[in-house]
């Protein structure tokens, strides 16, 4: 099939979702395991992006005007559609991203759960409410509500092409915004599928969720298209470029960036459970998980047992593209080079790979690295591959200090049987999210905010904070009755200031 024919197929199949506009340039997305073409998509230029945002801007008041109930109903129809087609979507994710079908089903199920939560909690979180007035405004009523921003631009990565963008899309839509989504150039078919599903499930406000396709320049055009907010998920270097582009038009940004998450295994931890969780946290999705575990700090008391438990489990893992494989190929060829560089740096600086360390045609063997110096790239930089460094520390305090010593601060995990100790370590971990005695769990709790600190970005998706992120707070006061003396009037009597001073002294003056 020629490129033009393939493009026509994709466009038609998506029922107009990927509108070509005047674009003639195209790009392919390919199966990382086989190189087979999954789809051909237009490279949307600035004009096409502006046109799409314009359509979204027209749809936005209608979408907002549906109110919380109308939107909740339509978000329910959308999640119903995703749930019924989950295998079709998972198959597409498998072909375009490379992850096992079962992992793609899990990812979609999580996204559906977030859609349900966002729809169900938007009114309570954002809807109008009265707030208490202070002494100085006792004759007024005060109201607070959170209003939508209009159109939200969402730029997504390829590693969780359903779950990750949905963390912004679901919450932005539930808050009353229209959305223009630019999926990664490595997973455009998944993005197009999600938009086509929206058109099918919500035909009366189909333009409330649209997709533009292309690489970095298309994303940059979305930053400059005058959206109300730009939600970016991707790497820290690109995040800096996105923020700079958004600064040109003072477009607010939400940045969900990379991580170098660590697990702390304390003296009293369930070592087998910690090892099991570390292996899943490090190797699932070929390690291409922003909140994946890349480093473990195990105390001397448990280090040897922990290493033995991890290596036993990792020995049983096999990468591949079949249903039995533990994880798939690296989605992006360039990431393989990053992993290779980290492995070389780790081993040349005194570390050793007790397992793995090999790269075979896009598949990286599960790799366990010991004795890697803290200064090594494998400990400091995001590796984004199926690798794990394990370091021996004297105690949990040393583990925490090392955990907190990178520029990233996305998430992490603590394993300890002492609830008080584990909670204390979790609180002091410099990260946006921490799970105790498990890994990644916070991402599956829709009520919990998701986001990082430092080079991992700022702003929050998920939960009430995630809903508020896509709104602006609106404050209103309404005078209920006039006071005999109006302090904010040039007609106030000269004695009013003395009376006010006495009242303030009575109310606050006793405080020392």
| Active site members | 256, 290
Instruction: Kindly provide the b/e burial profile for residues 217-237, where b requires at least 16 CB atoms within 10 angstroms of the residue's own CB.
Output: ebbbbbbbbebbbbbbbbbbe
Q: Least separation, in Å, of the C-beta of 403 and ligand NAD?
A: 17
Our CB check for ligand NAD shows the closer of 445 and 496 to be 445
Helices 188-201 and 86-97: angle between axes, nearest 10 degrees: 160
Helices 46-65 and 216-223: angle between axes, nearest 10 degrees: 50
- Per CB under 6 A, residues contacting ligand NAD are 155-160, 164, 182, 184-185, 215-216, 219-220, 223, 233-235, 238, 241-242, 245, 256-259, 290, 382, 384, 410, 452
Q: Least separation, in Å, of the C-beta of 105 and ligand NAD?
A: 18
Q: What 3-state class would DSSP assign to 362?
A: coil
Q: Least separation, in Å, of the C-beta of 160 and ligand NAD?
A: 6
Our CB check for ligand NAD shows the closer of 165 and 416 to be 165
Q: Where are the beta strands (DSSP E) in 84-188?
A: 129-131, 140-148, 151-155, 178-182
User: Residue 346: which H helix or E strand, with range?
Assistant: helix 333-348
* DSSP secondary structure of 200-237: HH-GGGGGGEEE---SHHHHHHHHTS--SEEEEES-HH
Q: Where are the beta strands (DSSP E) in 321-379?
A: 352-355, 359-360, 363-364, 367-370
| Strand 229-233 versus strand 253-256 pairing type | parallel
When computed from its CA atoms, the radius of gyration of the chain, rounded to whole angstroms, is: 26
Q: Least separation, in Å, of the C-beta of 236 and ligand NAD?
A: 7
Q: Least separation, in Å, of the C-beta of 80 and ligand NAD?
A: 26
Our CB check for ligand NAD shows the closer of 258 and 446 to be 258
**Rounded-to-integer distance, Cα 212 and Cα 222, Å:** 9
Q: Least separation, in Å, of the C-beta of 140 and ligand NAD?
A: 41
- Listed in sequence order, the residues at least 6 apart from 500 whose beta carbon sits closer than 8 Å to its beta carbon are 487
Query: Which of 221, 224, 326 has its CA nearest to residue 284?
Result: 326
Q: Least separation, in Å, of the C-beta of 90 and ligand NAD?
A: 18
Tally Cβ neighbours within 10 Å of residue 45: 17
Tally Cβ neighbours within 10 Å of residue 350: 10
Q: Where are the beta strands (DSSP E) in 257-292?
A: 261-265
Q: Least separation, in Å, of the C-beta of 336 and ligand NAD?
A: 13
**Rounded-to-integer distance, Cα 373 and Cα 351, Å:** 7
Q: Least separation, in Å, of the C-beta of 457 and ligand NAD?
A: 6
User: Residue 137: which H helix or E strand, with range?
Assistant: none
Q: Least separation, in Å, of the C-beta of 248 and ligand NAD?
A: 12
Q: Which strands sit side by side in the sheet containing 457-458, from one edge to the other? A: 209-211, 178-182, 151-155, 229-233, 253-256, 457-458
Q: What 3-state class would DSSP assign to 510?
A: coil
Query: Which of 95, 159, 105 has its CA nearest to residue 332?
Result: 159
- The upper half-sphere exposure of residue 427, i.e. CA atoms within 13 Å in the direction of its Cβ, equals 6
Instruction: Kindly provide the b/e burial profile for residues 85-110, where b requires at least 16 CB atoms within 10 angstroms of the residue's own CB.
Output: bbeebbebbbbbbbbbbebbbbbbbb
Our CB check for ligand NAD shows the closer of 242 and 271 to be 242
């Amino acid at each position: 099939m020629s490129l033009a024919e393939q493009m026509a197929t994709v466009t038609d199949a998506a029922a107009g979702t990927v509108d070509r506009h005047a674009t003639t340039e195209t790009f392919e997305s390919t199966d990382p395991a086989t190189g087979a073409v999954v789809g051909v998509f237009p490279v949307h230029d600035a004009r096409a992006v502006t046109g799409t945002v314009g359509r979204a801007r027209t749809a936005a008041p209608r979408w907002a005007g549906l109110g919380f109930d109308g939107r909740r109903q339509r978000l329910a129809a959308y999640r119903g559609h995703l749930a019924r087609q989950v295998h079709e979507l998972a198959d597409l994710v498998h072909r375009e991203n490379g992850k096992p079908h079962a992992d793609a089903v899990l990812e979609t199920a999580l996204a559906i759960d977030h859609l349900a939560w966002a729809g169900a909690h938007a009114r309570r979180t954002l809807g109008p409410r009265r707030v208490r007035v202070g002494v100085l405004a006792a004759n007024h009523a005060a109201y607070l509500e959170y209003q939508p921003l209009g159109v939200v631009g969402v730029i997504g990565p390829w590693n969780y092409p359903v779950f990750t963008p949905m963390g912004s899309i679901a919450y932005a839509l539930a808050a009353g915004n229209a959305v223009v989504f630019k999926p990664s150039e490595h997973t455009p078919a998944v993005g197009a599928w999600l938009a086509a599903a929206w058109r099918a499930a919500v035909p009366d406000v189909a333009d409330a969720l649209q997709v533009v396709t292309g690489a970095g320049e298309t994303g940059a055009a979305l930053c400059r298209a005058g959206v109300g907010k730009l939600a970016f998920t991707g790497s820290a270097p690109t995040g800096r470029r996105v923020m700079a582009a958004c600064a040109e038009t003072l477009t607010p940004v939400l940045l969900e960036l990379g991580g170098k998450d660590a697990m702390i295994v304390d003296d009293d931890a369930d070592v087998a459970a910690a090892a099991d969780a570390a292996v899943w946290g490090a190797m699932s999705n070929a390690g291409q998980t922003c909140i994946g575990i890349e480093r473990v700090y195990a105390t001397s008391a448990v280090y040897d047992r922990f290493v033995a438990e991890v290596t036993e489990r990792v020995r049983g893992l096999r990468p591949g593209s079949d249903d039995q494989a533990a994880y798939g190929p690296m989605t992006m060829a360039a990431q393989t080079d990053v992993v290779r560089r980290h492995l070389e740096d780790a081993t040349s600086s005194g570390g050793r790979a007790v397992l793995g360390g090999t790269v075979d045609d896009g598949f990286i063997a599960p790799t366990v690295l010991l004795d890697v110096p803290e200064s090594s790239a494998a400990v400091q930089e995001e590796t984004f591959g199926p690798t794990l460094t394990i370091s021996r520390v004297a105690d949990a305090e040393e583990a925490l200090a090392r955990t907190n010593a990178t520029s990233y601060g996305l998430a992490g995990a603590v394993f300890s049987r002492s609830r008080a100790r584990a909670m204390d370590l979790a609180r002091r971990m410099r990260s946006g999210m921490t799970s105790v005695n498990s890994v990644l769990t916070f991402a599956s709790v829709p009520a919990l905010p998701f986001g990082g600190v430092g080079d991992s970005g700022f702003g929050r998706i998920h939960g009430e904070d995630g809903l508020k992120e896509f709104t602006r707070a609106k404050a209103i006061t309404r005078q209920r009755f006039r006071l005999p003396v109006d302090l904010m009037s040039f007609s106030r009597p000269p004695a009013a200031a003395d009376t006010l001073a006495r009242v303030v002294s009575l109310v606050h003056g006793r405080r020392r």
